[in-house]
């Protein structure tokens, strides 16, 4: 690889002159591949892709994936062109002569983009790059919203008191742990761009904030003025706790995902906002927030949080989302196959779907149906050993990719096991379910969760690997592990 990379770097200046459009040092993947094969005919496309990605990581070239396959990629041979000739005019402040002019609604028209770029670059390519780097979005192809250029403040009627006594409010936040640290400048504009592309209803955007809608739930996503804290609030006028949680889960996944990409070295503290402060629309919401550790301590003691800044107390249950009971579990179509040590036992994997994610971000739900179930969510580096009656054992390690299902295992492992053990076909089936099927569950590592359903419950699990254990004690309980404090089983 080093030899191939060095040769590409050596030839790139000549390619810019002979193989690229005069308006930009950009090659589509097929042209780039043909140019490489001229001096290295035996190079395989997969190896070339990995080599180019390495050059991308070293900032020698920029590889942009514009589609699902590698052939849809483009390669920018001179990265300085992207910064100087594309991002420069796009992000130029008001006192620059060569800058994009916005309408009174903070929009940039397509004609304006052509006016700035047509003389020296391909405007359509510029638009593609700006959208690919999550700098803008268009709903009609004629007008573009650039979140980083927004100047309008939060509308006065965007988040006003509802006046409804049944209204529910919930909130979470992430604050830089170090006082000298702050989120990268592209973090929140990228969040706003993704809100436009991912949300089914068009959000309302302003400088440093956004409001989203879904059914009877509203959400506020806000960045603090100093750039060190971001928080999410959800509310339901009709008191729909489950919909509030659903919206919170979607937004949390989006915000945390962008935060990990844009500010990977920034250490954060998770905050839980006061439900009372949110409902009363108090100023300085962050002053009334609790740390996650404070919530854990209060829940372990008496379930009551004391808000010293506000001079009141509130229940842990009131500040944390909890999904309602008596809800059908989700059912996955591609269950993971767990290796078993004895052929005369069957590990029933009905209704299990498996996903993986970066540590700390939520996954999709895992539905489990059956009797005497154990669901194991194993964090990075965890070793899970589950043993039960009949000398049936299962051992799974997140660092061993030799077991079945290893193709799903990435940075964090989420392994779902149901233990509805049944006799094989050549054995007589008992009229009564076997109980207990599991005697011990041993987990080594961190960010692990164990959920036990002891009485034939139907359990639905969503997790971010928060290391909590719980037992479902009622039929059709729903255990929600998206947040450590959201587990409340009566």
Residue holding tokens 């660092």?
399
Copy the structure tokens of residue 234.
């959800």
| Averaged pLDDT score across all residues of the chain | 73
User: Which pLDDT tens digit goes with each residue over 366-425?
Assistant: 444 444 445 555 444 444 444 433 323 333 333 333 332 222 222 233 333 433 333 333
- The pLDDT value given to residue 94: 80
For residue 281, what are its two tokens?
């629309």
Q: Would you give the distance in Å from CA 380 to the centre of its chain?
A: 17
For position 67, what pLDDT does the model report? 73
Work out the pLDDT band at 334, boundaries 50, 70, 90: very low
DSSP string covering 139-195: SSSSEEE-GGG--PPPPTTSS-----TT-EEEEEEEEESSTT----TTHHHHHHHHH
Distance from C-alpha of 292 to C-alpha of 486, rounded to nearest angstrom: 12
What distance in Å separates the CA atoms of residue 272 and residue 483, rounded to the nearest whole number?
Answer: 10
- State the burial class of residue 97 (Cβ atoms within 10 Å of its Cβ: 0-12, 13-18, 19+): exposed
What integer is the mean pLDDT of 165-181? 92
Average pLDDT over residues 463-475: 41
Q: Which residues pair with 144 in a beta bridge?
A: 108, 138
- Predicted confidence at residue 264, as pLDDT, reads 85
H or E segment and range at residue 76: strand 73-76
How far CA 48 is from CA of 16, 68, 146, 489, in Å, comes to 19, 17, 34, 53
| Coil, strand or helix at 305 | strand
- 169 sits in which H/E element: strand 168-176
Q: Average the pLDDT over 115-125 and give the result.
A: 89
**pLDDT tens digits along 412-462:** 333 334 333 333 333 333 323 323 233 334 444 444 455 554 444 444 444
Q: What is the mean pLDDT of residues 333-342?
A: 29
Span of 3-7, 204-208, 420-424, 469-473 with lowest mean pLDDT = 420-424
Which pLDDT score, from 0 to 100, does residue 431 have?
29
Closest alpha carbon to 387 in 396, 378, 398, 377? 396
Give the residue extent of every domain in the chain. Answer: 2-77, 80-149, 168-319, 345-486
Regarding beta strands 449-453 and 469-472, do their DSSP bridges make them parallel or antiparallel, or are they unpaired?
parallel
CATH 1.10.20.10 fits 168-319, yes or no: no
Q: What is the pLDDT of residues 182-235, one digit of tens each?
A: 999 999 999 999 999 999 999 999 999 999 998 889 999 999 988 899 999 999
Segment (H or E) for 168: strand 168-176
Strands 268-272 and 168-176: antiparallel
Calpha distance 118→427 (Å, rounded): 77
Query: How are beta strands 312-315 and 393-397 bridged, if at all?
Result: unpaired
């Amino acid at each position: 690889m080093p030899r191939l990379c060095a040769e590409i770097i050596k030839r790139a200046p000549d390619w810019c002159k002979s193989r690229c459009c005069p308006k930009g040092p950009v090659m589509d993947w097929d042209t780039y591949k043909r140019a490489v094969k001229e001096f290295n005919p035996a190079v395989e496309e997969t190896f070339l892709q990995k080599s180019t990605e390495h050059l991308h990581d070293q900032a020698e070239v920029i590889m942009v994936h514009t589609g699902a396959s590698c052939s849809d990629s483009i390669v920018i041979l001179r990265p300085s062109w992207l910064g100087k000739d594309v991002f420069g005019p796009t992000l130029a402040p008001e006192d620059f002569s060569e800058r994009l002019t916005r309408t009174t609604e903070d929009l940039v028209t397509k004609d304006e983009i052509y006016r700035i770029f047509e003389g020296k670059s391909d405007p359509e390519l510029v638009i593609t790059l700006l959208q690919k780097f999550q700098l803008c979005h268009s709903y009609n192809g004629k007008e573009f919203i650039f979140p980083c250029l927004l100047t309008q403040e939060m509308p006065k009627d965007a988040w006003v008191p509802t006046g409804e006594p049944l209204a529910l409010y919930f909130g979470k936040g992430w604050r830089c742990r170090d006082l000298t640290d702050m989120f990268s400048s592209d973090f929140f504009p990228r969040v706003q761009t993704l809100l436009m592309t991912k949300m089914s209803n068009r959000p309302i955007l302003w400088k440093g904030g956004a409001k989203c809608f879904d059914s009877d739930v509203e959400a506020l996503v806000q960045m603090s003025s100093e750039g060190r804290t971001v928080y999410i609030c959800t509310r339901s006028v009709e008191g729909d706790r489950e919909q509030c949680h659903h919206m919170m889960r979607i937004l949390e996944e989006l915000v945390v995902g962008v935060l990990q990409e844009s500010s990977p070295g920034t250490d954060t503290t998770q905050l839980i906002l006061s439900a009372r402060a949110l409902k009363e629309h108090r100023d300085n919401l962050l002053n009334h927030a609790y740390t996650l550790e404070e919530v854990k301590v209060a829940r372990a003691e008496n379930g009551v949080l004391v808000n010293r800044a506000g001079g009141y107390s509130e229940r842990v249950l009131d500040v944390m989302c909890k999904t309602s009971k008596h809800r059908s579990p989700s059912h996955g179509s591609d269950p993971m196959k767990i290796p078993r040590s004895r052929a005369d036992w069957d590990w029933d994997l009905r209704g299990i779907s498996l996903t993986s994610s970066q540590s700390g971000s939520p996954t999709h739900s895992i539905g489990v149906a059956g009797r005497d179930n154990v669901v194991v969510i194993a964090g990075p580096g965890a070793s899970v050993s589950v043993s039960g009656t009949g000398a049936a054992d299962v051992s799974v390690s997140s660092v061993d990719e030799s077991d079945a299902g290893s193709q799903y295992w990435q940075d964090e492992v989420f392994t779902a096991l149901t233990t509805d053990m049944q006799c094989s076909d050549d054995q007589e089936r008992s009229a009564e379910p076997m109980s207990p099927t599991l005697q011990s569950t041993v987990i080594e590592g961190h960010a692990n969760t164990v959920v036990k359903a002891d009485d034939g419950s139907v359990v639905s699990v969503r997790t971010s690997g928060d290391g909590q254990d719980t037992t479902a004690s009622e039929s059709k309980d729903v255990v929600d592990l998206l947040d450590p404090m959201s587990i409340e089983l009566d």
